[in-house]
Structure 1
Amino acid sequence: MAAVEQGKQFHACAIKMRLNNALCVSSALVTMYAKRGNIESAHEVFKRQKERDLVSWNSMISGYAQHGQANKALEVFEKMQKQNMEMDVVTFVGVISACTHAGLVDKGEKYFNLMINDHHISPTVEHYSCMIDLYSRAGRLEKAIETINGMPFSPGATIWRTLLAAARVHRNIELGKLAAEKLISLQPQHSAAYVLLSNMYAEAGNWQERANVRRLMDRRKVKKEPGYSWIEVKNKTYSFLAGDTSHPMSDNIYSKLSELIIRLRDAGYQPDTNYVFHDVEDEQKEAVLSHHSERLAIAFGLISTNPGIPLQIVKNLRVCVDCHNFIKLVSLIEQRYIVVRDSNRFHHFKDGVCTCGDYW
């Protein structure tokens, strides 16, 4: 849920009842704030803890990892080591994940080996998945395949999906096809493999192969997961679908979007139509981009809140590159702090910059 304010109200109740310093409550608060996009509040609660257990440390490390603040996650881990805290599998999932989100390949390898050799923790599927993600995002696809082949168990859907997404980013069609076939054999009714593979063919301009994948989806009655975005305004959560016109303020939302696009073009914005996978004219592609669900949610947030109020969006899919560029510029021209939680991680946009450093 995107209910940030509700979480704050529970925190207030805990303070009034003098339960906020109970270890299980304070650890839950760290997790809640981190998962709700407020990593600063998570750290404030963490700092005030008079005692900490493994859950506290793991929550803070994982929180920083999800927010792309790798150095802070590793700082917490180093402090944890100095206090001779016993670590578990979750600790190292958080640490390696932090390295993954920042492209710290060497450090990720270092902590993976530290886990095995110094802490005598046997790697789980999650650890291998993190390592494959680490290599894949950095474009080291051969190393990712080597890791898959060296695992003591069969790779599952998550691993093949990770490899497929990386193959698409790095335009390796042969590897993408292999990963898609493996993923489809494991999850024949899940749309991710079909969509990623068809998008890959579209990027390469191979419209015939794209059409073949789409026909296979139709034959198997596989439906593409629609892109939804949520925003909470005045304690109420609103959801938007791409191209949505069902909201009572729909006219105002689209009017605000049109105004934003004009102002952004003046600031140098050019829509990146490479991420619209239809064999249509560029003008139609731009129209498709402008109606993505996160843009509708942001436009609604801008017209429904006072200037300067931060906006927080949750999206069920990965934010596309063009929307990422769009939101960066909106944060600059509107002078708004915008947090977007997509299927991968948190993005914090401020003054035209994202904390992910365009690496996600």
Structure 2
Amino acid sequence: MDIEPDATVWKALLSACRVHGNLELAERAAKALFELEPQNAVPYVLLSNIYSAAGFWDDAARLRRLMKSRGVCKEPGRSWVEMNSTVHTFMSEDRSHPRTEQIYLKIDEIMIMIKEAGYVPDMNFALHDVDEEGKELGLSYHSEKLAVAFGLLFVPRGAPIRIYKNLRVCGDCHTAMKFISRVFQRHIILRDSNCFHHFREGMCSCGDYW
């Protein structure tokens, strides 16, 4: 580059490293971001996720300790659906909603049906050091999936299911939403921190680039 890359350039590169699993380049990009934006949680979280996806759990834990020691806080991921002037908010593995039992039963049904349609859980987004079954369950209960289960249960058929998320939608949830839109024949609109995703008939308006 003819000019010094700014934080936006380094974050784009770090995100690309997450997609391609390039750990060496990710560490370089993250180091640059630690200097440019020392209180921004994004590079810490992305690099920690890259370590976790590669199975380097000690490095991921070390990075989380570094975040804590520097007073850097990650905003918890939340998804919400507004219906009849009431906002229904979900966090990963959340069981606080009054309709929790119905929502979790619906998630079980969703996972069975989309797996039959070809969905395969992407364990690269299961970021806890647990067994394969535990990782798959953790993916199933991401906030986006809880929100869409609620939507399938209570949003009238024919109306779009509108979900909002304060962070970027994870790759596994993005894939699952495409399958859900086709299997259940619903239009799902997911607004994450980057853009609107319109899921219809197994496709997303973002073209899988966000």
- 1:48 aligns with none
- Determine if contact 1:229/1:241 at 8 Å carries over to the other structure: yes
In the aligned structure 2, how far is the partner of 1:181 from the partner of 1:155?
A: 13
8 Å Cα contact 1:226-1:242 kept in structure 2: no
Distance 1:165 1:272 in 2: 17
For 1:284, the equivalent position in structure 2 comes to 134
Tell me the C-alpha RMSD between the 2 structures.
Answer: 1.7
Q: Which runs of 5+ in 1 are unaligned?
A: 1-145
Q: How many residues in Structure 1 have an aligned counterpart in Structure 2? A: 210
Partner of 2:169: 319
Partner Cα distance (1:171, 1:262) in 2: 29
Partner residue of 2:47 out of 197, 200, 207: 197
- Corresponding residue to 2:159 among 309, 317, 320: 309
Verify: 1:166 aligned to 2:11, yes or no: no
1:185 and 2:32 matched: no
* Alpha-carbon offset, residue 289 of structure 1: 0.6
- Note the C-alpha offset of 1:285: 0.5
Question: Does the residue aligned with 1:174 lie in a helix, a strand or coil?
Answer: helix
- Distance in 2 of aligned mates of 1:265 and 1:166: 27
The aligned amino acid for 1:264 is I
- Look up the match of 1:345: 195
Give 1:336 shift.
0.5
Gap runs ≥5 in structure 2? none
CA distance in 2, matches of 1:325, 1:252: 23
In 2, distance between residues paired with 1:285 and 1:179?
28
Aligned with residue 92 of structure 2, among 237, 242, 246: 242
Q: Residue type of the partner of 1:249?
A: R
Map 1:1-150 to 2 at 5 A.
Answer: 146=1, 150=2
* Counterpart AA for 2:91: L
Contact 1:183-1:193 within 8 A present in 2 as well: yes
Alignment check: 8 A CA contact 1:163 1:179 kept: yes
Please state whether the residue corresponding to 1:306 is helix, strand or coil.
coil
Note if 1:267 corresponds to 2:125: no
- Aligned to 1:294, which of 133, 144, 147? 144
The question of whether the paired residues in 2 share the 8 Å contact of 1:308 and 1:335 is answered with no
More strand by share: 2
Partner Cα separation in structure 2 for residue 350 and residue 337 of structure 1: 5
**CA distance in structure 2 between the partners assigned to 1:207 and 1:261 by the alignment:** 27
Structure 2 partner of 1:14: none
**Structure 2 equivalent of residue 222 of structure 1:** 72
Identity %: 51
2:206 equivalent in structure 1: 356
What SS is found at the alignment partner of 2:16?
helix
1:155 CA displacement = 4.2
CA contact (8 A) 1:314 1:341 kept: yes
1: CA distance, partners of 2:86 / 2:25: 44
User: What TM-score results when the alignment is normalised by the length of structure 1?
Assistant: 0.55
Structural mapping, 1:326-341, within 5 Å: 326-341=176-191
Q: Give the structure-2-normalised TM-score.
A: 0.91
Q: Select the structure of larger CA radius of gyration.
A: 1
Q: Displacement of 1:237 after TM fit?
A: 2.4
Looking at structure 1, the residues matched to 22 and 182 of structure 2 have their Cα atoms a distance apart, in angstroms, of: 35
Shift of residue 159, structure 1, vs aligned partner: 2.9
Following TM superposition, by how much is the alpha carbon of 1:194 offset from its aligned partner in structure 2, in angstroms?
0.9
- Once residues 164 and 42 of structure 2 are traced to their aligned partners in structure 1, the CA distance between those partners, rounded to angstroms, is 19
- Report the residue type matching 1:327 in the other structure: M
Structure 1 SS opposite 2:103: helix
1:157 alignment counterpart: 7
Q: Relative contact order (C-alpha < 8 Å, sep 6+): which is higher? A: 2
